[in-house]
Amino acid sequence: MGRMQAYFTTSYGRALMLALGGLVLIALLTQGLARLGLALEQSGAAWAYLKAVLLSAPQIIQLILPLTVFAACAFAANQSLVDQEAIVARAVGQGPWALAAPALRIAVICALAQLAIGLFAQPAAFSELRRTILGARAGLVGALVEPGAFVSPAPGLAIYAREQTGTRLEGVFLSDARPGAVPSLHRAESGLLLTVKGAPILVLFDGETRRFLPDGSIDTVKFGQNRVPLDDFGLADFDVLFKASDRFAVDLLAPDLDHYWNAQNRDALAAEGHARLSGPLWCLAMAMLAVLAILGAEPSRTGYGQRIAVAALAAVTMRAFAFALQSFAGEVRFANALQYAAPLFCLGGFALLYWSAAPRRRRRAIAA
C-alpha cells in the first residue's frame, strides 16, 4: 500500500512540476513580448525590461495555477491507469477516495501556495514593477501619460497624448476643470514634461487655450509656447498610483476612501481582494474534476482521450467563469459571495459524482 501511495504522490508531483514549468515559460515569453516596448522606449531600459518580466511571474503563476493543477492531475491519473497501478490498487482493496487522495493533497498544497502568492508575493512584486516601469519612462511622464488614452491623475485634471517618447508628447490635450476655477482646455501639437525645482511643469508648443467664461462665452488664445504648472493640481509630491493588482489584500478590502481614486473604484478593489481569497478554491475544484474525469470513469481499452478533452473544456470554461465573476463583482458588490460559492459548488458537485460512481463500478466488477 505504501509503495502505491508513494507512486501516486510522486506521479502527481512530477506532473505538476512539468505542467507548471511549461505554462509559466509560455506565460513569461508572452509577458516578455508585452513588455518589449519598455526596452525600445529608452536605450538604457534593458535591465528594467528584464526586471519587469521577472516581477510579472507571481501574478502569472497565480492565474494559471488552477489550470496547471487540472493538467497535472489529469496526466498523472491517466498515467496510473496506463501503468496499471490504479487497477491494481482497486484490486487490493483501495477505495475511490484513497485513489483521489494524492491529487487532493497536491491541490491543497497548490491552493495554499496560490493564497500566499496572492496575499504577499504578487502585490510586493507588482508594486515594485509599477515603480520600475514608471522609472524607466522618466517618472512623471510615465505616471501622468498613457499614450492614446485620457488619464486623470488628480481631481479636475485630465491629460491626453497621442504619442509619447521619453518626456516629449505629441498631440496633447489638457483639461482643467477644478472646482472654483474657470474651466479651460489646452490643445497643442507637442509638449514637454519637466520638473523645475521639484515642481512639475507641462510646456506646450504650437496650440491654443480655450477658457469657458461664466457668461457662456469662450475666450480662445493661440500660443507658440505655454507653460502649465502642475503643482496647482496637487502633483508636486506625486505618488505612484497603485492599481488593484499592485495592492495587498488589506488595501483592497479596506481602502483609504479619502483618496478620490479609491472611492471611485471601491467595488473593483473589493472584487480583486475577494478573487485572491477565493481563487485557491478553484485548485481543489480542478483537481476533483480531473479525478472524476479519469478515475471516475469505467475502465476502457481505448483510452480516455474524449473524457479528458471534455474535462479540459470544462476546466477552461470554469476559469473563464471565475474571471467573469470577478468582473461582475466589480460592478455589483453582492456578487463577491459568488466568487466563493462557485468553486465550492463545483468541488461539491464533482465529489458527489465521483462518490456516486464508485458503487456502480464495484457492482459491474462483481457481475463480471
The whole-angstrom separation of Cα 78 and Cα 86 is 9
Q: Which residue has the cell 481614486?
A: 261
The half-sphere exposure of 274 on its side-chain side, counting CA atoms within 13 A, is 25
Rg (alpha carbons) of the chain, rounded to whole number: 28
My answer on whether 104 and 20 are in the same domain is yes
User: By C-alpha distance, which of 113, 9, 6, 1 is closest to 62?
Assistant: 113
- Containing structural domain, residue 155: 140-233
Which pLDDT does position 34 carry in this prediction?
A: 56
Q: Is residue 353 situated within a structural domain?
A: yes
Which pLDDT does position 140 carry in this prediction?
A: 53
The whole-angstrom separation of Cα 354 and Cα 350 is 6
Do 88 and 1 contact (CB within 8 A), yes or no? no
Q: Is residue 250 situated within a structural domain?
A: no
322-361 confidence digits (pLDDT tens)? 999 999 999 998 899 999 999 999 999 999 999 887 655 5
The whole-angstrom separation of Cα 19 and Cα 230 is 50
My answer on whether 177 and 33 are in the same domain is no
The half-sphere exposure of 333 on its side-chain side, counting CA atoms within 13 A, is 6
The whole-angstrom separation of Cα 302 and Cα 298 is 11
My answer on whether 219 and 319 are in the same domain is no
Q: Is residue 248 situated within a structural domain?
A: no
31-45 confidence digits (pLDDT tens)? 655 555 554 454 445
Highest-confidence segment of 14-28, 37-51, 70-84, 188-202: 70-84
Which pLDDT does position 9 carry in this prediction?
A: 57
Instruction: Give the total number of structural domains in the chain.
Output: 2
My answer on whether 172 and 285 are in the same domain is no
My answer on whether 15 and 120 are in the same domain is yes
The whole-angstrom separation of Cα 139 and Cα 155 is 20
My answer on whether 130 and 266 are in the same domain is yes
Q: Is residue 256 situated within a structural domain?
A: no
The whole-angstrom separation of Cα 15 and Cα 154 is 49
The contacts of residue 88 (CB under 8 Å, 6+ apart) are 4
Q: Is residue 255 situated within a structural domain?
A: no
